[in-house]
Amino acid sequence: MGLKRSLGSLRAFSALALALSIVPVWLLTRRASPAARRMEERFFSRIVRGFGLEIAIEGTPMKSALFVVNHISWADIPVLASVLDADFVAKSDIESWPVIGRLARRYDPVFVARDRRSGSRIQADAIRWRLDAGRSVILCPEGTTSDGTTILPFRTSLFAAADANDVIQPVVIRYLAMDGSALPPKRQREVAWIDDDELLAGAARVAREQTLAHLTFLEPVRVSHFPDRKSLAEATRTVMLAAYATAPKRPM
pLDDT tens digits, residue range 53-83? 999 999 999 998 999 999 999 899 999 999 9
Residues of the chain with pLDDT under 50: 3, 250-252
Q: Which of 208, 189, 176, 191 is nearest to 13 (CA)?
A: 208
User: Which contiguous run of DSSP H or E holds residue 175?
Assistant: strand 167-176
What whole-number distance in Å separates Cα of residue 121 and Cα of residue 89? 14
User: What pLDDT does residue 175 have?
Assistant: 95
Q: Where are the domains of the chain?
A: 2-244
Distance in Å from the first CA to the final CA of the chain: 29
Q: What pLDDT is attached to residue 241?
A: 94
Burial of 192 (0-12, 13-18, 19+ CB in 10 A): buried
pLDDT for the residue 238: 97
Q: How many helices (H) and strands (E) does the chain have?
A: 8, 8
How many whole angstroms separate alpha carbon 140 and alpha carbon 173? 11
pLDDT of 252 = 38
**CA 148 and chain centroid, separation:** 13
> Of 169, 84, 166, whose CA–CA distance to 132 is shortest?
166
| pTM strictly above 0.75 | yes
- CA-closest candidate to residue 109, choices 130, 82, 132, 78: 130
**Torsions phi, psi for 226 (to 5 deg):** -125, 145
